[in-house]
Amino acid sequence: MVSITLFLALAAILFCIGLYGVLTRRHLVIVLASIELMLNAVNINLVAFSAIGPFANITGQVFTLFVITVAAAEAAVALAILIALYRNRNSIDVLKHDLLRW
Amino acid sequence: MCHGILKEKGVGMMHYAWLIPVFPLITFLILLVAGRVLKEKVAYIGIAGLALSFLLSVLVLLERIGGETYTYVLNWMTVGENVVTMGYEVTALNAMMLIVVTLVSLVVHIFSKEYMKEDDRIHVFFAYLGLFSFSMLGLVLAPNILQLFIFWELVGLCSFLLVGFWYFKPEAAAAAKKAFLITRIGDVGLLIGLVLLFNRVGSFNYAEIYTAVEMDQLSAPMITTIALLIFLGAVGKSAQFPLHVWLPDAMEGPTPVSALIHAATMVAAGVYLIGVMYPLFLASSTAMTVVAYTGALTALFAATMALVNNDIKRILAYSTISQLGFMILALGTAGYVAGLFHLMTHAFFKALLFLGAGSVIFAVHHRQDIRDMGGLWGKMKVTSVTFLIGSLAIAGIFPLAGFWSKEEILASTLINGDGFLFLIALVTAFLTAFYMFRLFFKTFTGEFKGGDLNDPTEETFNEQAAWEATQSAEVGLDAGYEERKVYPNHQEVPENEPRENAGLMTFPLMVLAVLAVIAGFINAPFLGHQLEAFLTAGLNVGTQPHGALWLAFLSVAVAVAGISLAWAMYVKGFIREDFFSSKAPSIHKLFQNNYYLDDIYLAVFVRPTKEISLLLWEMDKTIVDGVITLIGSLTSRSGKAMGKHQDGQLQTYGLVTVFGGMVVIGLAFAVRGYFG
């Protein structure tokens, strides 16, 4: 039996890579991809607990399906926004969009 | 406690007495709205309003003579178990006052039409006169002391507005403030007295206050306290010592105002107040003594100050203070009728003297120093003769009005007062005759000393010049006034000599002169003391003292002595004019400087108040405002500092959020332990 710790460690590593990408990449599409990475890290957690957690049951897997669905919707909306942004401002560099500053 | 809504004892003209103050109120409102458009015609509206009031007052008086007191009140508000009412009342006293006020106000309105014709703000002047007449009549008609107090404050306001009518003169503005603030001291006393009275009696109505005093509902010290507090109000309003200092300064107002407000009506309101509260005063011998001595000292001091003054209006102002002192003295020595009788006669002859002075001032182009006058007897016939009548009346020469009332006051001090009070009254009567005839002789006899009236280089005390000086010094203060001719001046008079004024100014003098002659007869002994019978009917104000025949002779003798001395000094020159002033220069100086009271007040009250105010202002600026400013600047500075970090960068926000989340989770672990 594989220890649950290994799954959690993998999820944590993935989450941190995603977070790092979100906070450092300048290209907005990469930022979006990094967010997907973070969501999937969460999914690994959910599936792991669902299969071999102390109170293993099907709920975790159901939630994972939900997360995947919402993530798909989110990606669609976010990409649409990105296209609109690019058409208006001719750039999708995250550093160049700072209209809401003090 | 509540005594019905309507207490009717016969409905007739008295039922419509409430209209008497309403007419001047309507003229005030009309002039307020349409004064600018009507311009010179405003005078007719004012005169018409007062004429209606006067006619109605006559009708009311005629009905009151045969009838009884008429009261009409409505419930105003309920305080606990007590009901405060509002309404009007026609008693003997206020029926008399209505006549005095409406008559004097009417003649002053007529006089002002001519006197103020050149003033650009004549509509404002007549509006104020209307408001004043309304307030004064409301004061007189009030059936309770609370309503009286409301109108009492209103007349004070009108006095302020009219004294400061020529507000562009700094002296006038200062005098208006002084008059308002000093009378305020008395008003505070009156207000406290009212509150105490309501607290003990449970009503403001005169009738219920009288009953409470009669039924011994009030303890003796309480009666004395309330009476003295109410008297303090009278001291302020009637310019009694030590609050008399505002009245001479109030002469900065237009002369008709001095005649109406500061001689005949408003300053007499204090005397009237004591009159309506008389049962209360009678119940406290301490209060009566205080009243009598205050009146006596005021009468004497003011008369001495009138002796040495050279400003025609200020002499009359000191004379007014002195005569008001006489009235108060009479009331303080149980001479209820004597005091109120003198109030009435004084209103006529003092209004006459003031309007006469106004006529003179008008004719000599707004000079007021009697040393620049003289020789006006031949030049101004009507003014001279009527002024002489007024002077004889105030001096107390038989059979003019002042003789009858002054003789009664002397009788009252002799019978109910002590020898000291009688002596003061007698000396004051002598001084009165002397200073009035000093004024008369210097103004009307001898040579005219005013020089060429149209000579602009003439260096005399001159309101016109004083005004022009302030005007040039304060250009820009009121830019609108520069082009307009606001001050009455008379450059169009071709002669450079004073001459009699138009009929509109002399007619009021004649009316008042007639009254100054005949008004005394209504309480003459040989006609059976008609006024006394009228005023005291149904009132418990004690028996009225009457003097013996020798007292009448004595009072006339004293007056004649005063006149003779003035004649000897200022006409014949038997005694040099500076005979007394050179003999006792320090006393002369004391009189001339008003006993240094103004300087004492300045040093004792005004300066320390100013110092303390400045100190408090500094404290307010540094400490109170400092704290507020500190909080404000801290907030705005921290806002600016924090704002710098709002750089609009998505990833900065994300990083901060992650760190924030980590801190929260870390704290949760630290407080609750790892996994709870």
Main-chain dihedrals φ then ψ at residue B18, nearest 5 degrees: -65, -20
Q: Please state the rounded mean pLDDT for residues B118-146.
A: 91
Kindly report the number of other CB atoms within 10 A of residue A57's CB atom. 11
pLDDT band with cut points at 50, 70 and 90 for residue B578:
confident
Please report residues of A whose CB lies closer than 8 A to that of B662: none
For the segment A47-59, the average pLDDT, to the nearest whole number, is 90
Q: Write the secondary structure of B342-389 as one string of H (helix), E (strand) and C (coil).
A: HHHHHHHHHHHHHHHHHHHHHHCCCCCEHHHCCCCCCCCHHHHHHHHH
The answer, yes or no, to whether the previous bond of B399 is cis (omega within 30 of 0) is yes
What is the model's pLDDT at position B671? 87
Q: B134 with B21: CB under 8 angstroms?
A: yes
Q: Spell out which residues of chain A touch residue B647, defining contact as CB-CB under 8 Å.
A: 98, 101-102
Does the beta-carbon distance from B648 to A99 stay under 8 Å?
yes
The pLDDT of residue B454 is 61
In Å, how far from its chain's centre is CA B151?
Answer: 13
* Cis before B545 (ω within 30): no
User: Which structure tokens are listed for B63?
Assistant: 């009905």
On chain B, the residues whose CB falls within 8 A of the CB of A99 are 648
From the list A94, A99, A102, the residue facing B651 with the nearest CB is A94
Closest CA to B541 of B394, B349, B337: B337
**Which long-range CB contacts under 8 A does B602-610 form with residues at least 24 apart?**
none
Closest residue by Cα to residue B157 from B134, B141, B140: B134
Q: Which of A19, A22, A98 sits opposite B649 (nearest CB)?
A: A98
**Contact check, Cβ <8 Å, B647/A101:** yes
For residue B166, pLDDT over 70 is answered with: yes
| Three-state SS at B529 | coil
- The two tokens of residue A21 are 């990408």
User: At residue B157, does pLDDT exceed 90?
Assistant: yes
Assign B90 to helix, strand or coil.
strand
* Domain containing residue A85: CATH number: 1.10.287.3510
Chain A residues with CB under 8 Å of B645 CB are 102
The Cα–Cα gap between B173 and B488 comes to: 18
Record: contact A102-B647, CB cut-off 8 A: yes
DSSP code, position B369: B
B375: Cβ–Cβ under 8 A, 6 or more apart, which residues? Answer: B444, B445, B446, B447, B448, B449
Asked if B87 contacts B69 with a C-beta cutoff of 8 angstroms, the reply is no
- pLDDT of B257 reads 92
In this prediction, residue B459 carries a pLDDT of 42
Q: Which residues of B touch A (CB under 8 A)?
A: 643-651, 654-655, 658
Closest CA in chain A for residue B644: A102
**How sure is the predictor about B356, in pLDDT bands with cuts at 50, 70 and 90?**
very high
Nearest CA in chain B to A96: B649
Strands, DSSP E only, in B258-354? none
The distance of B150 to chain A (nearest Cα, Å) reads 59
Sheet holding B82-90, edge to edge: B6-7, B70-79, B82-90
**A2 phi, psi to nearest 5 deg:** -80, 135
Contact A101 B646 (CB under 8 A): yes
Cα–Cα distance, B614 to B607 (Å, whole number): 10
Which one, of B179, B351, B143, B348, lies nearest residue B251 by Cα?
B179
pLDDT for A31 equals 94
Q: Above 60 in pLDDT, residue B676?
A: no
Q: Do B651 and A19 touch (CB under 8 A)?
A: no
Question: pLDDT exceeding 90 applies to what percent of chain B?
Answer: 47
CA nearest A94 in B: which residue?
B650
Contact between residue B432 and residue B319 where contact means Cβ atoms under 8 Å apart: yes
Q: Could you tell me the residue range of the domain that residue A80 belongs to?
A: 4-96
Contact A19 B644 (CB under 8 A): no
Structural domains counted in chain A = 1
- List Cα–Cα distances, B540 to B215, B216, B276, B543, B544, in angstroms: 13, 15, 12, 9, 11
Chain A residue with the nearest C-alpha to that of B639: A102
Give the closest-approach CA distance of A6 to chain B in angstroms. 19
pLDDT value, residue B435:
93
For B481-506, what is the mean pLDDT?
A: 58
Output phi, psi for B85, to 5 deg.
Answer: -115, 165
Residues B259-282, mean pLDDT to the nearest whole number: 91
**End-to-end distance of chain A based on CA atoms, in angstroms?**
55
Q: Is the dihedral of CA B617, B620, B623, B625 positive or negative?
A: negative
Which residue on chain A is closest to B653 by alpha carbon? A23
Among the partner residues B645, B648, B655, nearest to A98 by beta-carbon distance: B648
Q: Is the pLDDT of residue B485 over 70?
A: no
A24 found inside a domain: yes
Q: Residue B70 forms beta bridges with which residues?
A: B90
User: Of A23, A99, A102, which is closest to B654 when you measure between CB atoms?
Assistant: A23
A95 and B658 in contact by Cβ < 8 A?
no
Position B67 confidence tier, pLDDT thresholds 50, 70, 90:
confident
Residues of B in contact with A23 (CB under 8 A): 651, 654-655, 658
Amino acid code (one letter) for B113 = K
A1 Cβ contact list (under 8 Å, min separation 6): A52
Interface test mutation site (partner A, options B651, B662, B675, max chain A beta carbons within 10 A): B651
**Lowest mean pLDDT: which of B39-48, B461-470, B559-568?**
B461-470
Lowest mean pLDDT among A28-37, B51-60, B205-214, B463-472: B463-472
Does B58 have pLDDT greater than 70? Answer: yes
Residues of A in contact with B650 (CB under 8 A): 94, 97
CA distance B665 to chain A (A): 16
User: Does the beta-carbon distance from A100 to B658 stay under 8 Å?
Assistant: no
| Residue A101 to residue B655, Cβ atoms within 8 A | no
Of the pLDDT bands very low, low, confident and very high (cuts 50, 70, 90), residue A1 is low
Mean pLDDT of chain B: 85
For chain B, first and last CA: distance in Å? 76
Cβ distance of A19 and B646 shorter than 8 Å:
no
Is A95–B649 a contact, with Cβ atoms under 8 angstroms apart?
A: yes
Q: Tokens representing B33?
A: 């709205």
Q: Is the pLDDT of residue B310 over 70?
A: yes
Which residues on adjacent β-strands are paired with residue B84?
B77
The answer to whether position A39 is within a domain reads: yes
Under DSSP, the state recorded for B523 is G
Long-range contacts of B537-542 (CB under 8 A, 24+ apart): B537/B92, B538/B68, B538/B69, B539/B92, B539/B278, B540/B210, B540/B214, B540/B279, B541/B278, B541/B279, B541/B282, B541/B336, B542/B282, B542/B334, B542/B336
Instruction: Provide the pLDDT for residue B473.
Output: 43
User: Residue B155's pLDDT is what?
Assistant: 93
| Min Cα–Cα distance to chain B from A26, Å | 9
Three-state DSSP state, B496: coil
User: Does A80 reside within a domain?
Assistant: yes
Provide mean pLDDT across the span B304-311: 89
Give Cα B317 distance to the centre of its chain. 11
For chains A and B, CB pairs below 8 A equal 29
Q: Which residue, among A17, A24, A25, A100, would best test binding to B if mutated, counting the most B CBs under 10 Å from its CB? A: A100
User: Does any domain span residue A92?
Assistant: yes
Please indicate, yes or no, if residue A11 is contained in any of the structural domains: yes
Which of B644, B650, B655 is the closest to A102 by Cβ?
A: B644
Which residue from A22, A97, A101 is facing B654, i.e. has the nearest CB? A22
Q: Is A98 in contact with B643 (Cβ distance < 8 A)?
A: no
Question: Rounded to an integer, what distance in angstroms lies between the CA atom of residue B646 and that of residue B522?
Answer: 93
Chain B residues whose CB is inside 8 A of the A91 CB are: none
Residue B491 pLDDT greater than 60, yes or no: no
| Residue B461 clears pLDDT 80, i.e. is over it | no
Q: Which of chain B's residues have a Cβ under 8 Å away from the Cβ of A19?
A: 658
Closest Cα in chain B, distance from residue A33 (Å): 15
Q: Evaluate whether B436 touches B319 at the Cβ level (below 8 Å).
A: yes
State how far residue A27 is from chain B, nearest Cα, in angstroms: 12
Report the pLDDT value the prediction gives residue B475, as an integer from 0 to 100.
Answer: 40
Q: How far apart are CA B276 and CA B235, in angstroms?
A: 15
Please check whether residue B568 is in contact with residue B575, taking contact to mean a CB–CB distance below 8 angstroms.
yes
Confidence band (pLDDT; 50, 70, 90) for B4? very low
* pTM of the complete model: 0.76
Res. B194: pLDDT tops 60: yes
Pair of tokens at residue B509? 């003098």
B643/A102 touch (CB, cutoff 8 Å), yes or no: yes
Q: Check whether B659 has a pLDDT greater than 90.
A: yes
Decide: B516 and B400 in contact? Cβ < 8 Å: yes
**For residue A102, is it within any domain?**
no
Q: How far apart are CA B667 and CA B204, in angstroms?
A: 72
The residue among B65, B544, B59 whose CA lies nearest residue B340 is B544
A7 vs B482, more confident: A7
